[in-house]
């Protein structure tokens, strides 16, 4: 299934695989080790997508699934995205990896559709590096068309820094994909540096409040005030709000009281492999008066 990914991995890297040298410091050597292993991982199917439900606050229905990349190295075991995504970005490997992610997500959309299991959106994360490709929109359109996935079933998450880097070009790219039916969310909101006035210019559908604001929401007055303000501001701009990293009933309760639209977090479900998501069980649990048990 990864002929394209393999081809691109080779095209982008095979011939410029870099080697260690004695004067490299330990950190640089570690990064380089990861980079070379990551290139190998892409060619040898060590990468996988897990999916985490994004849920309606009011009725706990799954409205979307976020695709999250997982890497299990044959010897080193699982390596976290926080470690390898930055390496992938710096080495350009994020381009063939991002292409693999989109293709895999599109195929999964088709599969769930055929099985009649899930008809919401599948959402992929985009890296700043992908946005710097002038033919990004064309490439994405090709992949979507090739897999036959309906772009109305696809979502993309970007961070503020992605758009800020090249505002006008980025907005044009967003708009072309939105015209195809793709939905856009602004990820990790509150951690970046964009001003509220910029938010008005971004053609985004959803804003995801970063989990660092959700963590102490119930006890920290400042976090509570910020979350309240973000929700009110987003709604006044007709942007829906998702809270990330919801782990407890009390957090959910606060969000519900503030009219937050959707949430995502271990409280409902951890990210899972596609074939381990028990849609029916999750939805049955969602019907309980309080809230779903974490699984
Ligand atoms: P993100 O896009 O903000 O994804 C949310 C992260 O929060 C995920 O971490 C998820 O596993 C974690 N999470 C979800 N619910 C909870 C919770 O209740 N508590 C806590 N403590 N954490 C929760 P993960 O999977 O480790 O990914 C980290 C980051 O790596 C992502 O942050 C995203 O920026 C990046 N990433 C992951 N997959 C991809 C990908 O395919 N492409 C790109 N470019 N970046 C990716
Ligand atoms: Mg995300
Ligand atoms: Mg996030
Ligand atoms: Mg994050």
Q: Which residues surround ligand 3, an ion (CB under 5 A)?
A: 187-188, 244
As a whole number of Å, the end-to-end CA separation of the chain is 30
Q: Left if phi > 0, otherwise alpha if psi is -120 to 50, otherwise beta: which for 155? A: beta
Ligand 3 centroid vs 49 CA: distance in angstroms?
16
Q: So what's the pLDDT on residue 119? A: 92
Q: H or E stretch including 36?
A: helix 26-43
Residue nearest to atom 41 of ligand 1 (CA): 69
Ligand minimally distant from the alpha carbon of residue 104: 1
Q: How far apart are CA 34 and CA 16, in angstroms?
A: 15
Q: What is the mean predicted confidence (pLDDT) over 61-78?
A: 95
Percent of the chain with pLDDT over 70: 86
Q: What is the pLDDT of residues 212-269, one digit of tens each?
A: 999 999 999 999 999 999 999 999 999 999 999 999 999 999 999 999 999 999 999 9
ipTM, two decimals, is: 0.98
Predicted local confidence at residue 26, as pLDDT = 86
Q: What is the pLDDT of residue 15?
A: 44
Give 217's DSSP letter: T
Calpha distance 207→239 (Å, rounded)? 7
Residue 7 has pLDDT above 60, yes or no: no
Query: Cα angle vertex 289, ends 286, 290, to 5°?
Result: 80
Residues with CB under 6 A from ligand 1: 52, 68-69, 80-82, 85, 101, 125-127, 157, 187-188, 211, 244-247, 264-266, 271
Ligand 1 site-directed mutation target among 87, 98, 100, 125, most atoms within 8 Å of CB: 125
Rounded Cα–Cα distance for residues 38 and 214 (Å): 32
With contact defined as beta carbons under 8 Å apart, do 54 and 118 qualify?
no
What's residue 13's pLDDT? 42
Average pLDDT over residues 33-55: 94
Which contiguous run of DSSP H or E holds residue 285?
A: helix 279-286
* Candidate of 47, 68, 104, 215 to mutate for ligand 1, largest count of ligand atoms within 8 Å of Cβ: 68
Neighbours of ion ligand 4 (CB under 5 A): 188
| Position 4 pLDDT exceeds 50 | no
| C-alpha closest to that of 164 among 193, 134, 124 | 193
Q: What number does the ligand 1 atom closest to the CA of 50 have?
A: 25
**Residue 295: pLDDT over 60:** no
Task: Dump the DSSP string for 165-216.
Answer: HTHHHHHHHHHHHHHHT-EEEEEEETSS---HHHHTTS--SEEEE-HHHHTT
Q: Separation of 22 CA from ligand 3 center, angstroms? A: 38
Residue nearest to atom 42 of ligand 1 (CA): 125
| Residue 116, number of CB atoms within 10 A of its CB | 8
Nearest CA to ligand 1 atom 22: 245
Ligand 1 atom index nearest CA of 188 = 3
Ligand nearest, relative to CA of residue 242? 3
Q: Dihedrals φ, ψ of 154, to 5°?
A: -115, 140
* The ligand 1 atom nearest the CA atom of 80: 26
Instruction: Please give the structure tokens belonging to residue 126.
Output: 């985009």
Neighbours of 273 (CB within 10 A): 11
Which atom from ligand 1 is nearest to the alpha carbon of 159?
A: 34
Residue 283: per-residue pLDDT: 72
What is the dihedral sign for C-alpha 230, 63, 267, 47?
negative
Q: Which residues does residue 77 pair with via DSSP β-bridges, in sequence order? A: 73
């Amino acid at each position: 299934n990864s002929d394209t990914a393999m081809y691109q991995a080779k095209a982008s890297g095979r011939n410029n695989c870099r080697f260690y040298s004695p004067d490299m410091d330990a950190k640089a050597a570690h990064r380089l080790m990861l980079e070379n292993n990551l290139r190998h991982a892409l060619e040898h199917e060590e990468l996988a997508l897990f999916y985490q439900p994004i849920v309606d606050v009011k009725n706990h229905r799954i409205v979307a699934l976020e695709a999250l990349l997982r890497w299990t190295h044959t010897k080193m075991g699982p390596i976290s995205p926080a470690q390898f995504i930055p390496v992938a970005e710096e080495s350009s490997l994020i381009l063939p990896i991002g292409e693999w992610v989109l293709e895999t997500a599109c195929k999964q959309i088709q599969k769930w559709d055929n099985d009649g299991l899930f008809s919401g959106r599948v959402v992929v994360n985009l890296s700043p590096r992908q946005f710097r490709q002038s033919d990004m929109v064309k490439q994405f359109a090709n992949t979507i068309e090739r897999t036959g996935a309906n772009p109305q079933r696809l979502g993309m998450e970007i961070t503020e820094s992605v758009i800020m880097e090249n505002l006008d070009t980025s907005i044009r790219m967003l708009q072309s994909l939105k015209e195809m039916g793709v939905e856009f969310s602004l990820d990790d909101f509150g951690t970046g540096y964009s001003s509220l006035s910029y938010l008005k210019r971004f053609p985004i559908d959803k804003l995801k409040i970063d989990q660092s604001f959700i963590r102490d929401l119930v006890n920290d007055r400042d976090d509570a005030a910020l979350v309240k303000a973000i929700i009110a501001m987003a709604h006044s701009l007709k942007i829906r709000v998702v809270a990330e990293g919801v782990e407890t009933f009390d957090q959910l309760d606060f969000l519900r009281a503030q009219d937050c639209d959707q949430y995502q977090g271990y409280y409902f479900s951890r990210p899972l492999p596609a074939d381990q998501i028990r849609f029916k069980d999750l939805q049955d649990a969602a019907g309980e008066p309080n809230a779903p048990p974490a699984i």
